[in-house]
Every structure is written in C-alpha cells, then in structure tokens.
Amino acid sequence: MHCRSLVLTAASDSAPLQADDIARARALLGDAILQDDELMPGRAWRALFVAAETAPLGDFRRRVADALAHRPVDVNVVADDIAYTRKQILVADMESTIIQQEMLDELGELIGKRAVIEDITSRAMRGELDFEAALKARVAMLAGLDAQVLDDVAERMTLMPGARELIATMKANGAYCALVSGGFTVFTQRIARDLGFDEHQANTLEVAGGKITGRVLEPILGREAKRHALERIARTRGVDMILTLAVGDGANDLDMLAAAGLGVAFRAKPKVAAAASDLPNGAVVTHGDLTALLALQNYARADIVSD
C-alpha cells in the first residue's frame, strides 16, 4: 500500500486548546501519528501522520472536527510539503477578510439601501449571483452620490484581527504580499499602505464632476482576474505555485484558492468553506483570526511579528 505524509492542524484563538482536545485528536489518529507538537501553545496543535495515498484528506478532517465540534476549533489536513513550507507569496482578498466590512454595504447605508445592497452582496459571495452583474447592480444605486463620501466611508474600515501580524510576519520572512479585491481602489490603496502590502489591485469607481456616476470602469476584477493576479505574481517573481498562499471569503475567491499552494477560506460562506475543504490544497478558518494562516505555514508563536 502506498502511503503519504499528512499534517493535521487544530487551532483556536477564541478559547484555549485544552489537553482533552488534543487527546481526542490523538486518539482518532492513533498509531498513524509520526510526531506531534503544540506549535502555538494553547492556540495550535499539529500532528504529522501517515495515511493511504488514496485516503481522502477531508475524511480525516471531518473525523477530528466532529470529535471537537463542541469547541471553537478549526481542523485542517494538508500534505506535509504544503504544511511545512513558509509561503513566499500571499494574495489576499480585502473585504470580510483583511478588513471586517463590505464597503458597498457601508455606502448603501448612506442612501438608505443598506439592506438591499447587503442582500445582493451576500448572495454574490455565496455564489448565487454572477459577481460582475451583482457588482454593477449595486454600484448603479450609488449614482449621483458625492464622491467625497468615499473618503468618509473609508474611515469606517477596521482591520480583521490578526491582519497586521499576518502581513508583518510574512514580510519579515521575505514574502511578497498583494491585496487583490473585487472592491475598489479608493479603499484598497489605504489598507495596502497601512499594512505594507507590496501591491494592490481592485476595481475603479467612475467619478465625474465630483459625483459617483454609478458605473465601474472596465475591465472588472472578478473571480478569474483574482486567479490571474496570483499566477502573474508567481510567474513574475519566479516562485513555484506551491509556495503561494491565497485567502478569501467569497465564491469569487475560489479559483485563486484552488490555484494557490495553500488556499484558505477565511470565515467564509458555508458553500465556499465546503468547496475549499474539499480542495487537496485547501484549508478553512472559521473560529480563528488571521494568525491561523501563520500556524498553517509552520510559524510558531515566537515567530509572530507585531508591526
């Protein structure tokens, strides 16, 4: 029987990992474990184990996740060559990933249409609506709004917990970090500058005479463009795709998650999380903050840089 080495990571930051949590996971993997350690004591435990080459990764994840379902713990299983490599490129979605807001929803509040726009946003992120059509429909509702409000609304942006540490730590270790968003450059440029991203890419709202026209300039940056951005950056920098990391929360992120060496669905919509979980290179973070992405790359607590 052909075997392969896999790494299971159990992580939580909302409640400390307990000895009983680790014992349950150890018991399920049993003699298959080659070694295990607390990568981040109280936050992340991992185990290197062997399994049949044909065994689905998702089966191991589900077994351990089910055993720990009563606890806020994220369980992921990836091949050892993925888990033990620190990535040289990070491509991150911005809204509901690096920041806590969806900025079109915030703009919708100014025109009394937040609920309508939020509904379209949620359906698009779940993959129920075409991303480009949903984007254009929401932007059209903003026609005539004073462009000055873009700067005002930008002040509402708050970082996702762990965002600063994720970027600072990866950059301190030589990684190239790109912010690639289906949102707008007026917002990505601020976050990119604040966190030290090496580049940012997003859509551009058309403004004329100091007013938002209700149109987005072409080409639209959507699902396919995000994957192309990841591939372009890797190719330009001469980095193998296995050394890339992509993170996002919506259906328009799935192509880049699948293409990356490690694709992480972060606090994602259920269908997106399920799709990422089934990827051979996929991971799902539901309970943890963005420092969970560091644990998935073999960073210990002492390695984390606070900018």
Q: Give the whole-number percent of the chain exceeding pLDDT 70.
A: 99
Between these two residues, 304 and 2, which has the higher pLDDT value? 304
pLDDT at 1 over 70: no
pLDDT of amino acid 191:
99
Helix (H) or strand (E) holding 234: helix 223-237
- What average pLDDT does the structure give for the chain? 95
Distance between CA atoms of residues 270 and 125, nearest Å: 10
Read off the pLDDT of residues 177-217 as tens digits, 9 standing for 90 and up: 999 999 999 999 999 999 999 999 999 999 999 999 999 99
pLDDT at 54 over 70: yes
Angle at 190 between CA 166 and CA 125, to 5 degrees: 70
Distance between CA atoms of residues 204 and 220, nearest Å: 8
> What is the residue type of 63?
R
Read off the pLDDT of residues 106-124 as tens digits, 9 standing for 90 and up: 999 999 999 999 999 999 9
Angle at 163 between CA 158 and CA 169, to 5 degrees: 150
Distance between CA atoms of residues 51 and 125, nearest Å: 35
Strands (E), the chain: 3-11, 33-40, 44-52, 74-79, 89-92, 176-184, 199-203, 205-208, 211-216, 244-248, 262-266, 282-285
Ordered by start, the domain boundaries in the chain are 1-84
CATH topology of domain 1-84: Alpha-Beta Plaits (3.30.70)
